[in-house]
Chains A and B, each alone.
Chain A
Amino acid sequence: MDLIIGGAYQGKLDLAKDKYDLEDSDIYFCTEESCIEFGKKCLYHAEEFSLWCVRNGMEATELLDKHKEEWKDSLFICEDIFCGVVPIGEDMRAWREMTGRMCAYLSSKAKNVCRVFCGLEQKLK
């Protein structure tokens, strides 16, 4: 499993398409409306999955851990929403922290981790 993180609109998906030779059908767009399909090749906007977890009283890390056999060869792409200021709303605060925990967990399991800055890749692991 690999992990790509970075700010909004930095070109994370473009880099992923380039590096991992992804077809459009390989990409799963996570939303706050539903749980993810753990076995997809590329899980894009993983931070939306953690928002779904917050809204449904789940812990993203625990849920991922239960399904780890399914995504062990996947690519996760996550926005680093945990770098900004602490938001006022309770949900948004929980979301920020859960996404931070989720990325730390994914990073510990990942073979490769990189950050995208203005379209450029920065290797972290």
Chain B
Amino acid sequence: MNIFISGGSKNGKSSFGQDIAVRLSKKGKLYYVATMIPYDDEDRVRIARHIENRSGMGFETIEVGRNISSIFERADEAGTFLVDSTTALLLNEMFPESYEAEADPTAVTRCIEGLLEVANRAGNAVFVSDYIYSDAARYDSFTESYRRSLASIDRVLAQKCDVVIEASVGNRIIHKGKTIYEKMF
């Protein structure tokens, strides 16, 4: 089973993801695939908050900033994987050296291939992304290319996954797979 969750910042995506992953895993292995590479204290605080939130839920954490399908070298494929988040993965793949450098144009393809491999091989996978597409702003070309790239990953995953959920201020809008979703709860 594959699940895709997106939505605005602090709208409950990660906690939904954790909840769903726990339900899917039954008694099998449960992995938290942490894609954020911390750059500063703000990131470290955010990570600490996430670790605190999921403590006691039975997750084994796998840290992987790039090359997402390498998780299978370190985990039982039959398990349940919560990938949090595709947003951080894309950023890391676009800037392997530093944010000052040119963005790697092959990053999107690598992300899509890797994430599809996770979806195909994992017993269950839950993917968390961020919805960053509804602003009255003219962004610079870098930001615009990042938004376009993340959207193309989102659309591939939404098509691939059995259930697509939008987290909206703590509520869930089910865009796909309503029957499957209702059976889970």
B and A form one assembly: yes
Which residues of chain A have a CB within 8 Å of any CB of chain B?
6-11, 79-85, 87, 92-93, 95-96, 99, 117-120, 122
On whether the beta carbons of A83 and B175 are closer than 8 Å, the reply is: no
Nearest CB in chain B: distance from A93 CB, A: 8
Chain B residues near A81: list those with CB within 8 A: 134-137
On whether the beta carbons of A8 and B151 are closer than 8 Å, the reply is: yes
Chain A residues near B164: list those with CB within 8 A: 117-118, 120
Q: CA–CA, A79 to B138, complex, Å?
A: 13
On whether the beta carbons of A84 and B159 are closer than 8 Å, the reply is: no
On whether the beta carbons of B137 and A87 are closer than 8 Å, the reply is: yes
How many A-B residue contacts, CB cutoff 8 Å?
71
Q: Tell whether B121 is near chain A: CB-to-CB under 8 Å.
A: no
* Complex interface bits, B145-183 against A, C-beta within 8 A gives 1, otherwise 0: 001100110110111000010100000010110000000
Chain A residues near B148: list those with CB within 8 A: 8-9
Which of B4, B6, B154 has the most chain A CB atoms inside 10 A of its CB?
A: B154
On whether the beta carbons of B134 and A118 are closer than 8 Å, the reply is: no
A-B contact pairs, 10 of them (CB 8 A): A7-B132, A11-B155, A82-B136, A87-B136, A92-B136, A117-B173, A117-B175, A118-B6, A118-B164, A120-B158
Residues from 56 to 94 in B contacting A, C-beta threshold 8 Å: none
Which of A9, A11, A80, A96 has the most chain B CB atoms inside 10 A of its CB?
A: A9
Closest A residue to B161 using CB positions? A118
Q: CA–CA, A93 to B136, complex, Å?
A: 8
Chain A residues near B176: list those with CB within 8 A: 120
Residues from 98 to 130 in B contacting A, C-beta threshold 8 Å: none
Q: Other CB < 8 Å A-B pairs besides A10-B151, A11-B155, A120-B158, 5 of them?
A: A8-B147, A10-B133, A81-B137, A118-B151, A119-B159
On whether the beta carbons of A83 and B147 are closer than 8 Å, the reply is: no
On whether the beta carbons of B135 and A84 are closer than 8 Å, the reply is: yes
On whether the beta carbons of B158 and A8 are closer than 8 Å, the reply is: no
Q: Tell whether B95 is near chain A: CB-to-CB under 8 Å.
A: no
Q: CA–CA, A17 to B167, complex, Å?
A: 28
Nearest CB in chain A: distance from B157 CB, A: 8
Q: CA–CA, A85 to B133, complex, Å?
A: 12
Nearest CB in chain A: distance from B135 CB, A: 3
Nearest CB in chain B: distance from A95 CB, A: 6
Nearest CB in chain B: distance from A90 CB, A: 12
On whether the beta carbons of B136 and A7 are closer than 8 Å, the reply is: no
> Known contacts being A9-B147, A9-B151, A9-B152, is A118 close to B158, with CB within 8 Å?
yes
